[in-house]
Amino acid sequence: MPKLSYLKALNRALGDEMARDDTVFLLGEDVNHALTNTTHGLLERFGPQRIVETPLSEQGFTNFATGAAMAGLRPVVEFQIPFLLLLVFEQITNQAAKFRQMSGGQVSVPVTYLLPSAGWRKEWGGQHSDQPYSLFAHMGVKTVVPATPTDAYGLLLTAIRDDDPVVFFAPIAALGVREDVDHAALQPVPLGVGRVHRPGTDVTLVAIGHPVHDALAVAEELAGEVSVEVFDPRTVHPFDWAGLAASVARTGRLVVVDDANRSCGLAAEILATAAEEFALAAPPVRVTRPDGAILGAVPQLDLALQPSREQIAVAVQKVLKSTG
């Protein structure tokens, strides 16, 4: 079977969906020259009415997308750097995401915000490595963080077809991931449905985005001593609580890996919900970045702040030993 890379999956999903539905169009910076590679070949294929190069006016074109969506189109807005989502945070969370409710359900705002470079950008300094997906979940905006090429393809299709704003985080660290796929079998992946990448009986190890691959590696590594179930929610909001509950019901133990700042992050939400609703045989453990961590210009400093496989392994062993 042919190999599909995560980056190519994004490019293919955009192309397939634009071909299927001509209300879909993409706008962003340097998209004509496919700087991020997601739009590679699309300008030639669909022309400048569908692939729209924008100035550095993120708030302006985010509002523009809101308007185009309210008038019946399905814009995909590409952002080059995580902080650009912070720059348009108000336009997404307080405007695009609120018009439906403020109109009593009359207005739809089907915009996809595509960040093909979430998380750490090695050595690019303190302003290029944020991982702000939990912020959108707090504000109630649909948010996905796929870990694999097939999930990236399927969730991008679903995000574009969804009638609400959806923020799509593609982790830089996952862009190179390749997978054997039967292209004909590629299909939409529903929002809010997690995925058990590896079944297990002793511990549920939750990971989202690129740490899924670290989680799988650790599970494999520890296979001799412990049976680890790797659960990938894939969607941050709405979250697959039923899926996680089922997994934890099987294992009774919980570890969450989240390569984002600790306070009020996704891992916090998962542990909080587990503490309220799940029966745990041992206290759950989070492996995250520190509070307010800023990943900067020196890799050895940054790496000391990011969740490591060793930390994950230690956390798994810890929840196994302890009892609630």
Ligand X SMILES: Cc1ncc(C[n+]2csc(CCOP(=O)(O)OP(=O)(O)O)c2C)c(N)n1
State the minimum distance, in angstroms, from the CB of residue 79 to ligand X: 8
Out of 16, 53, 90, 179, which residue is the one contacting its own copies (CB under 8 A)? 90
Give yes or no: 213 in active site.
Answer: no
> Where along the sequence are the contacts to ligand X (CB under 6 A)?
29, 56, 58, 80-81, 84
Return the C-alpha torsion angle 149, 155, 157, 159, nearest 10.
-150
b/e code 33-49 from CB counts within 10 Å (16+ = b): ebebebbbebbeebeee
Binding track, positions 189-208, relative to its own copies; x by CB under 8 A:
--------------------
Q: Is the peptide bond before 238 cis (omega within 30 degrees of 0)?
A: yes
CB 298, min distance to another protein, A: 4
**What is the pattern of x (binds its own copies, CB under 8 A) and - over residues 220-239?**
-----------------xxx
Q: Give CA separation, 196 vs 72, 90, 118, 306, in Å.
A: 36, 34, 23, 24
Nearer to another protein, 77 or 156 (CB): 77
CB 241 within 8 A of CB 285: no
Query: By CB neighbour count within 10 A (0-12 exposed, 13-18 middle, 19+ buried), where does 218 fall?
Result: buried
Query: Among 46, 61, 89, 168, which residue interacts with its own copies (rule: CB under 8 A)?
Result: 89
Catalytic position from the list 128, 197, 213, 237: 128
Q: H or E segment at 213?
A: helix 211-221
For another protein, the closer CB: 127 or 227 = 127
Q: Min. distance of Cβ 33 from ligand X in angstroms?
A: 12
Q: What are phi and psi of 9, to 5 degrees?
A: -65, -40
CB of 270 to another protein, least distance (A): 13
**Which is nearer to ligand X, 98 or 198 (by Cβ)?**
98
Residues identified as active-site: 128
